[in-house]
Amino acid sequence: MATEQALKSRSNNQCELCTSSSSLTVYSVPPTSDGSAQQCIYICDTCLSQISGETALDKNHWRCLNDSMWNQEPAVQVVSYRMLHKLSTESWAQDALDMIYLEDDVKTWAEQGIAAERSNGPTRDSNGAELQDGDNVTLIKDLKVKGANFTAKQGTMVRGISLTDNPEHIEGKVNGTRIVLISAYLKKA
């Protein structure tokens, strides 16, 4: 109860991510939390259900991270960083990730949670089909390839893909260039 009181005081009885004031609860920031106010945040049910994966991510809801990522509390910074990382296919989230600054120990804490999530899930295409090394995939939209000065066109076949340690990314050759592709823009062939 002391943790909840400390968090209520710290947050002015608002969600520390989106500033909502309804249905607030204590969230212990994984992977290791001792339950203290320094390792917990006070968040609303909307944020909690999306963080935990109970409901789908509402990308517009998370635009609140543009403000919460600057919070002085390390636990809030960690959750903001992790959510921005989940939303990194959105240009605004990638821009925020490029701007965010975390102390080394805070960044290590944030990346521990990301690594734990990565090891939990398989790589899936836009339709939810599981991808394996060596599979062939098709691009479902035009993708500008940064640094290579070309656009990979919708419908392009990428043969013999390689999985990465991030389940959201695969590697493959397009126009003779080996690039990293986001699995959400692919369809298993």
* Closest C-alpha to 174, from 60, 12, 154, 5: 154
d(CA 43, CA 7): 10
pLDDT tens string 19-51: 999 999 999 988 777 888 899 999 999 999 888
Asked if 90 and 157 sit in the same domain, the reply is: no
58 plus 114 within the same structural domain = yes
- Domain membership of residue 129 (yes or no) is no
Residues facing 173 on adjacent strands: 178
Q: Are residues 102 and 149 in the same domain?
A: no
Residue 131 lies in a domain: no
- The span from the first CA to the last CA of the chain, in angstroms, equals 53
Domain of residue 26: give its range.
2-118
Q: Based on the domain organization, do 114 and 141 belong to the same domain? A: no
Tokens linked to 40: 């917990």
Closest by CA position to 15, among listed 49, 41, 53: 41
Q: Total domain count for the chain?
A: 2
Residues 48 and 105 in one domain: yes
The answer to whether 152 and 143 have CB atoms below 8 angstroms apart is yes
Q: What is the CATH number of the domain that holds 154?
A: 2.30.30.40
Mean pLDDT of the chain: 88
**Residue 3 scores a pLDDT above 70:** yes
Q: Which residue has the higher pLDDT, 26 or 168?
A: 26
Assess whether 94 and 173 both reside in one domain.
no
CA neighbor of 114 nearest in space, from 76, 82, 69, 79: 82
Task: Please name the residue that has the structure tokens 């994984």.
Answer: 30
Share of the chain above pLDDT 70, in %: 96
Q: Which of 167, 171, 173 is nearest to 150 (CA)?
A: 173
In a domain, residue 127? The reply is no
Task: State whether 39 and 84 are in the same domain.
Answer: yes
Determine the Cα–Cα distance for residues 148 and 52; give it in Å rounded to an integer.
37
Tens of pLDDT along 116-126? 665 556 888 88
Rg (CA), the chain: 19
